Amino acid sequence: MYQSRLAYACSKLCVNADKIRPKQVNQSGKNDMDIYMSWWTELVGQDYEWFWNVGIALTLTLIAGLFWRMLRKRLVRLVASTENHWDDVVINAIAVPVNWMIVAVGLTWAADITAAYYDKEVQTSISIVRQLSLIILAAWAMWRLINRVEEKQLEGGMDPTTVQLVGKLAKLAVTILIILPVFQLLGISISGILAFGGMGGLIVGLAAKDLLANFFGSLIIYLDKPFKVGDWIRSPDRSIEGTVESIGFRVTRIRTFDKRPLYVPNSVFTSISVENPSRMLNRRIYETIGVRYQDAHTVRGIMEEIREMLRQHEEIDQEQTIIVNFNAFGASSLDFFIYTFTKTTNWVHYHEVKQDVLLKVMDIIHDRGADCAFPTRTLHLESMPAELSGGSPGGPGVSGQSVTQG
């Protein structure tokens, strides 16, 4: 029994020994270790200079990015301590584009190194991509700078219309300056475009005359400044009234008082008259008031007291004209008018002041024992029937009677 078990163990040991013995490769006579060593020798013997150069380029790009990050933080702290706010604007505008410029230069540099080892014809395309990337990122930085300057000027209280005009023209100039070198890099002839510009400009001008009229209309608005964003305007020639929300190169958006947006082509403003109540210095109170004819003896005193009340009123501009004068003999009233100006130009406050003035006028009239007139008619009858005069039926009528009807 023991002998059989010993024989079984010896057989298993022999099998395992065969498994760990180096395998033979067919036809070569080499084992697996020899093959691996041969592959490693061949791999190490190849030229990997491009790989190390790409690694160096990417490492330098990373170092440049970290250096710019630290430098930007230091610059932000430095400019924050100065009284000049424009350095803050510049740093905030160029910070992000410069980051992407470093990335673009590093990646195209690594791609250029790789192409030099494998496909040198691709190097020209990589160079074009690098230049296009830098041009576009520079344009982006300029646009950001223009936006930051606009925000700063608006915070300083500068006219929004002027700020928007200068900003749009600056962005247009930057766009044109960017397009020209981009065309040059892409191999598009600029001289051909300029040659086509004469005839093309004529064709475009005829086809888009309304668009050009609106564009020049916007320039007139920007230069003459009949209104600006936030002004309340109205036109007696057109059904235009509301608050200006924006002035574009093509249309001006106005918010009417019932909260509807109204889009008016800018060319319209060159041919209509425009009122701008927002630029009023004062608001006027001009009212005609009638007193009953039976109160004629109180009219003079009423007007003098009203005039004195206006001179003492704190909301009435004493430097402007104040008139309280008898005006006309009305059909059923003795009319006098009030002509004065309030200090405020606010629409709501103006009506509050006007209400206070008119209520005080009514109190003065009542204090004098008089009253405001209302439409009446007096009929003079040559003779009145006896039934109306109180006489006996059939009796003679009464002549020369007057009847007043309200």
Inform me whether the pLDDT recorded for 402 exceeds 90.
no
Closest CA to 166 of 182, 153, 180: 153
> What's the rounded Cα separation, in Å, for the pair 75 and 88?
9
pLDDT given at position 317: 94
Quote the distance between the C-alpha of residue 274 and its chain's center.
23
Instruction: Work out the pLDDT band at 377, boundaries 50, 70, 90.
Output: confident
pLDDT of 7 = 45
Segment 28-85, tens digit of pLDDT: 455 566 665 665 555 445 556 667 777 888 888 888 888 888 888 888 788 777 777 7
Contact indicator for 248, 221 with CB cutoff of 8 Å: no
- Average pLDDT rounded to a whole number, residues 112-119: 71
Of the pLDDT bands very low, low, confident and very high (cuts 50, 70, 90), residue 113 is: confident
Instruction: State residue 131's pLDDT score.
Output: 86
Confidence of residue 168 (pLDDT cuts 50, 70, 90): confident
- Report the distance separating Cα 71 and Cα 133, nearest Å: 23
Residue 8: its H or E element: helix 2-20
Q: Report how far residue 340's alpha carbon sits from residue 300's, in angstroms, rounded to the nearest whole number.
A: 19
pLDDT in tens, 177-215: 888 788 777 777 666 666 655 555 666 556 567 777 887
pLDDT at res. 311: 94
Local confidence band at 379 (pLDDT 50, 70, 90 cut-offs) = confident
How many angstroms separate the CA atoms of 230 and 277, rounded? 12
Runs of H (alpha helix) within 225-346: 299-312
**Pair 299, 334: CB distance under 8 Å:** yes
Q: Which pTM value belongs to this model?
A: 0.52
Distances 38 to 28, 45, 393 between C-alpha atoms, Å: 13, 11, 152
Question: Mind giving me the DSSP string for 170-218?
Answer: HHHHHHHHHHHHHHHHTT--HHHHHHHHHHHHHHHHHHTHHHHHHHHHH
d(CA 316, CA 285): 10
Helical spans, DSSP H, in 30-85: 32-44, 49-80
Band (243; pLDDT cuts 50, 70, 90): very high
SS3 151: helix
How many Å apart are CA 311 and CA 319, to the nearest integer?
10
Question: Quick one: pLDDT at residue 176?
Answer: 82
217 in Cβ contact with 269 (< 8 Å): yes
Most distant CA pair in the chain, distance: 174
Q: What is the mean pLDDT of residues 117-125?
A: 69
